[in-house]
Amino acid sequence: MSKRDLKKYLGDLTKEQLEEQLIELYEKFAPVKTYYDFVFNPKEDKLLQEAKVKISQEYFPIKKPGAKWRPKAKMRRSVAQKLIKHFMTLGVDSYILADIMLYNIEIAQTFSSQNFIKQELFYKSIFNSFEQAVNFIISNGIFNDFKLRINAVYEETLQQKWKNKYDFEVILDKIDY
């Protein structure tokens, strides 16, 4: 069904029929419920904190009470990427999105400062996140608000002597820094 056909179909419905269909969609499909729950009660700060906790646990998992061992860090970038995509779908404020994008990189750098990471893919993945974050921040016109954090990420790559530190530099050289 095309968008035009959908508009025509919806235009032919009475207000009651339309309300009935929306309520049915709300009850039947979790993404619709999530969307409307967010629209009517955003609580962006709560979403941000929950996302930060999930991302942190990828690098610094919490030992469960009574457990004899602490779980190993999984370092999955995909967890943060799913959260970022979800936030974009909901239409979360660009400042919050930028914050979570940079937080993902910062927590990974904190982890790598305390642990030796031999997988090249980790560094490439964090670079991809950095490039995505910088592009998002610039395209939303909020670069000046995040300039210090972006620079701090770059400086951390230098301090930790990452092999791909020059890739980060290339990104910063492309913009009027």
SS3 87: helix
Read off the pLDDT of residues 117-157 as tens digits, 9 standing for 90 and up. Answer: 999 999 999 999 999 999 999 999 999 999 999 999 999 99
Q: Say how many domains are in the chain.
A: 2
pLDDT at 176: 66
In the chain, pLDDT over 70 holds for what percent of residues?
99
Element (H, E) at 15: helix 15-28
3-state class of 104 per DSSP? helix
Instruction: Please check whether residues 1 and 56 belong to one and the same domain.
Output: no
Q: Which residues contact 164 (CB under 8 A, 6 or more apart)?
A: 123, 124, 127, 157
35 and 49 assigned to the same domain: no
Of 81, 79, 62, 82, the C-alpha closest to 71 is 62
- Structure-model confidence comparison of residues 44 and 161, the more confident one: 161
Taking the C-alpha atoms of residue 16 and residue 141, their distance in angstroms, rounded to an integer, is 42
Residues 84, 35 share a domain: no
Is the predicted pLDDT of residue 177 greater than 60, yes or no?
Answer: no
- Considering the domain architecture, whether residues 77 and 138 belong to the same structural domain is answered as yes
pLDDT digits (tens, 9 = 90+) for 8-48: 888 888 999 988 988 898 889 888 887 887 778 778 888 88
Residue 13 is part of which domain span?
1-41
